[in-house]
Homo-oligomer: A and B are copies of this chain.
Amino acid sequence: MKTCIAVQDAPLNATAPQQWLRDEGVSGAIVLFSGHVRDEDGRVEALHLEHYPGMTERFLGTIVERAGQRWHLNGAWVVHRVGTMRQGDEIVQVAVSAEHRQAAFEACAYIMDILKTRAPFWKKELIDGSWHWVEARERDALAAAAWLAGEPGHEPR
């Protein structure tokens, strides 16, 4: 399985994951998740994302490795943006290639669930001219718990 994992300040290239994963038909299926900064009904003027350099990359690598053990994948791409962004900006890309679509869908959703609930990123929103930390959503914690329940050990290490 080929993998590409990165955390970057620069805007994401929307077409890069598919270009990078295409493999002349070895994979019949590519599934891509693309996350965007939501406008929250115009409430949020900007978003700032902090992370834990070093741990983040290692953590994302571990999630991808686990996904590769659980499903038959040919490639996985996880690129996350950090720094200051505006509504509509692409914040994360998770894409996987596999021979069959079910593995691709499940692995992509799995990586996103763990990423959202365990990877060391923190969001801050600019609202009415001042910055506020975003609280974690319970739904994300539950999504990860469902996946982790089936795994040996409780944390991707």
Contact = CB atoms under 8 A, between A and B. Distances in A.
B29 A36 contact: yes
A112 B101 contact: yes
A36 B30 contact: yes
B14 A39 contact: no
Contacts of A39: 24-26
Contact of A36 (B19, B28, B105): B28
Q: Interface of chain A, helix or strand or loop or mixed?
A: mixed
Interface in A117-157: 143
Contact of A34 (B30, B35, B38, B40): B30
Interface of A: 14-15, 18-19, 22-40, 87-89, 99, 101-102, 104-105, 108-109, 112, 116, 143
The 7 closest A-B pairs by CB, nearest first: A25-B87, A25-B39, A24-B88, A25-B88, A28-B38, A30-B34, A32-B32
